[in-house]
A and B are shown apart, each in its own frame.
Chain A
Amino acid sequence: MHPRRATFWALYLPPVVWVGLFFLVPIVLMFALSFRADMQGDLLSLWRPSLDQYQAIFAIGSYWRLLAISIGMAFVVALASVALAYPVSFFLVFRAGRAAGLCLMILMIPFWTSFLLRVMSWKFLLGSEGVINSFLTYTKVIAEPLGGLLYSRNAVIITLIYVWIPFAALPIYAALQRIDSEMLESAADLGARPWASFWAVTFPLSLPGVLASFFMVFIPTVGEYVTPLLIGGSRGSMFGNIVQDFFTKAANWPRGAALSMVMLAVTMVLVAIAARLVNLRRLLE
């Protein structure tokens, strides 16, 4: 048992210390900061705890509404990304054969190009005088340029799905890879039709990957702010934009910290509920 003990600590300590020091401690600092009344004085000195920020936040209904909307958007994005990514993962594992690694790389490479530049070129393509609209008006498919392709909440959702699909494919890919092909053969031998054996055998076995993928997309999307900032226009802001604004536009770190704590709490509650429903522990075994 002893070597296993030592192994345990060798595996346990580095990640925990790293995340503890470079994540928990800063977050605790932020949590403490949320109890500051304002930015006056030396930021790193002791201050008198105050509930001012939380009181202000709770009084503003529109913040809560925006949080609910952001959660809704994140849910839609996660659902769609996972659904659209599944066929990609399936293709990679069961169709691509030895080219799977290559195909995976091909999927990832666009993300090594600056997101900012890619969004600029998307705006170029989707703008009201951009390529797509010009083509559609030229061929008389539409009379007026489509306004909704950019600068709207829907544009944000579509862009987020588009950006997440390759990432969402990965946990599913990992899960599908461990499916024993013999099991599938037996199902076929027993006369199961392809779709039936997919739903009865393949999909359930890939479920841990599907769920991992869902949460991997859902959780960070709740706090997303870059895409709404670049593509959302005036009405496409998400909760993350408000949080970011308090840090980078309002110089009101305590308010920003309080808002992030609220978002953190709500997201964690949601994830806890979902984990309960789905019985994550059982899946991990």
Chain B
Amino acid sequence: MNHLLRKFLLIPALFALAIPACSQKEEAAEVTQTSGDLAVLEWAGYDAADFWTDFKGKYPEAKVSFEIGSSDADVYGKMKAGTKADIFHAYTGWLQFYVDEGLVEEIDVSKLKNWDKVPESFRAMGRFNGKQYFLPWDWGFSSILYRTDKVKGSVDSWAALLDPKYKGHIATWDDGPGMVTVSSYIHHYDETNISAEQLSAIKAEWIKQRELNLFYWAGEPELIDGMANGDVWVAYGWQGTYATLLGKGVPVAYADPKEGRNSWVGLYGIRKGSPNKDLALRFLDEKLANATASNVVNQFYYGVANDEVMKSISDPTLKQAFSVDDPTVLQRTNFTPNLTARQRDDWTAMWTEVKAAP
């Protein structure tokens, strides 16, 4: 085993020797980089030109290519495996590891022209140890989505996802940490400090919930179809699904549970060691620009960190989806905290045991 590994070490070692020779050239190129190749490790759908249209218009000589990551774990795995992407897109809860393991560059916000459109609360999400490592971009709520014609009364608590009344018509997100979060809202656990006994209780709770659950959704289209054709009455959902269903004329409501909604934020980071740091920074800057941000809102029905764009939303469907007219909603919203590597391993392993249980 060892000699095989040593053989694989040899190749990076050879590269490492070659790098100092190249770095001199890089220093000179960095300051005025407006062309070149940029590789982005991105989520499916966001590679479409609409979502970097400002950058495309401003830097036509730059070539952008995309590598698709299918989940936070996938993005993290690819970053660990040594992807050559310059930029990657991660979500709250999955940020700490990149900082701890030295995989992300610091962002020089003084070079960002659109930075002042980003509210402080969002800026803070990308800040670790006082340094800005990530640029907040897309965000959304997670709450309970329900069919108003199939559910009597209204839903006012996360416990609806575990309610036997809806047996066979519940669909929740296929995500362990997400479900730990839901349980901690219901039972008022401290999400950042879940003990082993609490985790066991959570596991037992979700194993029982499996009897009531129809399917775990991994992507929104599955949930949209399921709710549109009446199979699913109550679901854990993002507001993008809500807006889409409203647009289709399906009678749904998006709960404002007494424990508060959850919110997640997507952020961009620059991979440490990227040779295109300057161009990457410009890409990030243009991501916050108005046209790009508007496309996210209008096509994906997700929020953006660009406050100007958010304040100018006029479409009634979207206003309803974002609860724009009700500021108390945002106040009672719980933002996803960061996971440590240990928590991540424990909570994701817990979820596989839920799936494997008899």
On whether A and B touch (CB less than 8 Å), the answer reads yes
In chain A, positions 249-283 with a C-beta closer than 8 Å to chain B are 249-253, 255
| Shortest Cβ distance from residue A81 to the other chain B in the assembled complex, whole angstroms | 25
Tell yes or no: A159 within 8 A of B by CB: no
Q: Given contacts A28-B4, A39-B80, is CB(A252)–CB(B356) below 8 Å?
A: no
Tell yes or no: A44 within 8 A of B by CB: yes
Tell yes or no: B43 within 8 A of A by CB: no
Tell yes or no: A177 within 8 A of B by CB: no
Q: Which residue of B lies closest to A232 (CB)?
A: B215
Tell yes or no: B81 within 8 A of A by CB: yes
Q: Which residues of B contact A151 (CB under 8 A)?
A: 214-215
Q: Which residues of B contact A253 (CB under 8 A)?
A: 77
Q: Which residue of B lies closest to A230 (CB)?
A: B222
Tell yes or no: B344 within 8 A of A by CB: yes
Q: Which residues of A contact B29 (CB under 8 A)?
A: none
Q: Which of A29, A41, A248 contacts B101 (CB 8 A)?
A: A41
Q: Given contacts A62-B357, A250-B176, A251-B77, is CB(A39)–CB(B341) below 8 Å?
A: yes
Tell yes or no: A212 within 8 A of B by CB: no
Q: Which residue of A lies closest to B6 (CB)?
A: A46
Contact between chains at A247 and B230 (CB < 8 Å): no
Q: Interface readout for B320-358 with A: 1 if CB under 8 Å, 0 if not?
A: 000000000000000000000100110011011101111
Q: Which of B2, B71, B81 contacts A43 (CB 8 A)?
A: B81
Interchain CA distance A251-B78 in the complex, whole Å: 9
Which stretch of A135-143, A181-189, A233-241 is in the interface?
A: A233-241
Q: Which residues of A contact B345 (CB under 8 A)?
A: 38, 250, 252, 255
Q: Which of B168, B352, B358 contacts A242 (CB 8 A)?
A: B352
Scoring A38, A46, A249 by chain B CB atoms within 10 A of each residue's CB, the highest score goes to: A249
- Classify chain B: how many residues form its interface, as a range: 35 or more
Q: Which residues of B contact A28 (CB under 8 A)?
A: 1, 4
Interchain CA distance A128-B71 in the complex, whole Å: 30
Interchain CA distance A129-B232 in the complex, whole Å: 11
Contact between chains at A235 and B71 (CB < 8 Å): no
Contact between chains at A129 and B230 (CB < 8 Å): yes
Q: Which of A32, A233, A246, A255 contacts B5 (CB 8 A)?
A: A32
Q: Interface readout for A87-125 with B: 1 if CB under 8 Å, 0 if not?
A: 000000000000000000000000000000000100110
Q: Which residue of A lies closest to B212 (CB)?
A: A234
Contact between chains at A237 and B168 (CB < 8 Å): no
Tell yes or no: B60 within 8 A of A by CB: no
Tell yes or no: A132 within 8 A of B by CB: no
Q: Which of B6, B12, B174, B225 contacts A120 (CB 8 A)?
A: B225
Contact between chains at A123 and B225 (CB < 8 Å): yes
| Shortest Cβ distance from residue B196 to the other chain A in the assembled complex, whole angstroms | 14
Tell yes or no: B26 within 8 A of A by CB: no
Contact between chains at A250 and B80 (CB < 8 Å): no
Q: Interface readout for B1-14 with A: 1 if CB under 8 Å, 0 if not?
A: 11011101100100
Contact between chains at B356 and A63 (CB < 8 Å): yes
Q: Which of A128, A234, A250 contacts B73 (CB 8 A)?
A: A250
Interchain CA distance A187-B181 in the complex, whole Å: 71
Contact between chains at B229 and A249 (CB < 8 Å): no
Contact between chains at B341 and A233 (CB < 8 Å): no
Contact between chains at A242 and B355 (CB < 8 Å): yes
Interchain CA distance A63-B350 in the complex, whole Å: 12
Q: Which residues of A contact B8 (CB under 8 A)?
A: 44
Interchain CA distance A43-B83 in the complex, whole Å: 12
Contact between chains at A234 and B210 (CB < 8 Å): yes
Contact between chains at B215 and A45 (CB < 8 Å): no
Scoring B8, B77, B229, B351 by chain A CB atoms within 10 A of each residue's CB, the highest score goes to: B77
Contact between chains at A249 and B231 (CB < 8 Å): no
Contact between chains at A40 and B101 (CB < 8 Å): yes
Interchain CA distance A129-B70 in the complex, whole Å: 30
Q: Which of B72, B215, B348 contacts A245 (CB 8 A)?
A: B348
Tell yes or no: A84 within 8 A of B by CB: no
Q: Which residue of A lies closest to B71 (CB)?
A: A248
Contact between chains at A32 and B355 (CB < 8 Å): no
Q: Which residues of B contact A247 (CB under 8 A)?
A: 73-74, 77
Contact between chains at A127 and B231 (CB < 8 Å): yes
Q: Which residues of A contact B357 (CB under 8 A)?
A: 62
Contact between chains at A40 and B230 (CB < 8 Å): no
Tell yes or no: B249 within 8 A of A by CB: no
Interchain CA distance A253-B210 in the complex, whole Å: 26
Tell yes or no: A72 within 8 A of B by CB: no
Q: Which of A60, A229, A249 contacts B353 (CB 8 A)?
A: A60
Q: Which residues of A contact B230 (CB under 8 A)?
A: 128-129
**Which 5 residue pairs of A and B lie closest in terms of their CB atoms, listed nearest first?**
A250-B348, A251-B73, A62-B356, A234-B213, A233-B215
* Given A45-B9, A250-B344, A250-B352, 7 further pairs, Cβ under 8 A: A44-B8, A44-B81, A130-B229, A234-B213, A249-B348, A251-B72, A255-B345
- The 17 listed contacts between A and B (C-beta, < 8 Å) are A32-B4, A44-B12, A63-B352, A63-B356, A124-B229, A127-B231, A129-B229, A151-B214, A234-B210, A234-B215, A234-B355, A248-B70, A249-B176, A250-B352, A251-B72, A251-B76, A253-B77
User: A residues touching B (Cβ–Cβ < 8 Å)?
Assistant: 28-29, 32, 38-41, 43-46, 49, 56, 60, 62-63, 65-66, 120, 123-124, 127-130, 147, 151, 229, 232-235, 237, 241-242, 245-253, 255
